[in-house]
Structure formats: C-alpha cells, structure tokens
C-alpha cells in the first residue's frame, strides 16, 4: 500500500466517543493472516460492526449513513493493547486519513505515522467540543492543515504537535524506505568519496 501525501484535509468526521479502544477491537486477531495491507478495512471494528451471524449492527457508528468522512474522532487512549501494525492498516484501508483523540498509545501512534495515518492529539476539552459539534451537525467539516499543524472547525482553531521527520514523510507520501531512496544520489556521492580516500 503506497503512502498517500497528506497536507490539507477538509472533511466531515466519524465520531466514536469510547475510551480505551484497543487494537484487538480495531482489527480482531483472527483477521491478521493476510500478507499484504489491502483488505483490512473490511474488518475494521468487525465485532462492533457485525453480530455473530455477520448481520450488520445498525447502531454502530460505521453502519450509520448519517456519518462519513476521512477523520475518525475517538475517545481517550485510542490504540492501546497489542502493538499490531494491522490496526493502522485497517483504519487507512477503510478510508481514514486522520484520527483525533485526547491520548494515543505510543506504539499505535508510531504505527499510524509509519503507514500514512495522521494521529492528532488534543486536550479533553477540545475533544469534547469536537464531539459536540459533530453531534449538533453531522455535516460539520473539520479542517486539518499539516503544513501549518492546525486543526479547525470554522473560526475555532488549535495547533497540534508532530515529529518533524514524520511530518515531512506525510507531506511527501514517503515511507522510511521512500525517504532513503529520495536521498540516493547524496548517498552514492558520499560512498564515492569514501572510495576515493
């Protein structure tokens, strides 16, 4: 799965105001057998989206046509539990480009950034404000400007932190390997100089 460039997102959001959502809830372990990143979105939040008979659970937010968008807004401590990278794959494959929460598990945050998914951490009051705005109007647009590191809804705006290297990778659509390949000429030039001396 190629990492897509992220700079500006202006989209509606899907609210999931639950705390302590772990990676096994994001993508259950029984779906981790695939060898590629594609198709994981089909089983995102599988046990919340479908019952044991594979029937849609209508009151789960991803099954509610009222909500859509490229941003997931989740409760505190999102991505806790195991270190499975597949959680980021599933969110990305489903179509999410960013996740907003008041706290992320460190390993999930790293996996998200490595796979082209932008985790934005806000304080609890700001998270509650975002949930309220979406609840008042499901067509509320959230705007993310990665270059400026801002999140906004209308006139309301907040700044967010991101590792500078990971920011550069997301802006350019680079994986770590892509970044190294982008420096190939400089690396080869350095190697040539070492051979000369």
- Judged against a pLDDT cut of 80, whether residue 83 lies above it is answered with yes
Q: How confident is the model at residue 149 (pLDDT cuts 50, 70, 90)?
A: very high
Q: How confident is the model at residue 72 (pLDDT cuts 50, 70, 90)?
A: very high
- Judged against a pLDDT cut of 90, whether residue 147 lies above it is answered with yes
- Judged against a pLDDT cut of 90, whether residue 75 lies above it is answered with yes
% of the chain with per-residue pLDDT over 90: 78
Closest C-alpha to 159, from 169, 171, 170, 145: 145
pLDDT of residue 24: 95
Q: How confident is the model at residue 131 (pLDDT cuts 50, 70, 90)?
A: very high
């959230």: which residue's tokens? 142
Strand partners, 120: 100
**DSSP annotation string for 72-131:** EEE-SSBTBSS--THHHHHHHHHT--EEEES-B-HHHHHHHHHTT-EEEE--HHHHHHHH
């190939």: which residue's tokens? 184
Pairwise CA distance, residues 148 & 126, whole Å: 18
Which position has the higher pLDDT, 189 or 10? Answer: 10
pLDDT of residue 153: 98
Beta pairing class for 71-74 and 98-101:
parallel
pTM over cut 0.75 = yes
Closest C-alpha to 133, from 161, 155, 118: 155
pLDDT of residue 130: 98
Rounded to an integer, the average pLDDT of 21-32 is 93
Q: How confident is the model at residue 38 (pLDDT cuts 50, 70, 90)?
A: confident
């Amino acid at each position: 799965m190629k990492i897509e460039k992220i700079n500006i997102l202006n989209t509606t959001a899907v609210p999931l105001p639950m705390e302590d959502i772990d990676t096994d809830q994001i993508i259950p372990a029984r779906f981790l057998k695939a060898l590629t990143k594609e198709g994981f979105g089909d089983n995102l939040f599988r046990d919340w989206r479908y019952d044991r008979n594979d029937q849609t659970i209508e009151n789960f937010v991803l099954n509610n046509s009222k909500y859509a968008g490229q941003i997931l807004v989740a409760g505190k401590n999102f991505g806790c539990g195991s270190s499975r990278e597949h959680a980021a794959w599933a969110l990305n494959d489903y179509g999410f480009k960013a996740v907003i929460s008041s706290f992320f598990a460190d390993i999930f945050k790293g996996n998200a950034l490595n796979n082209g998914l932008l985790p934005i951490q806000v304080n609890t009051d700001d998270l509650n404000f975002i949930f309220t705005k979406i609840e008042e109007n499901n067509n509320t647009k959230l705007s993310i400007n990665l270059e400026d590191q801002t999140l906004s809804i209308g006139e309301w705006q907040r700044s967010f932190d991101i590792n500078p290297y990971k920011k550069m990778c997301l802006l350019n659509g680079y994986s770590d390997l892509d970044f190294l390949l982008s420096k190939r000429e400089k690396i080869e030039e350095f190697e040539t100089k070492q051979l000369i001396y």
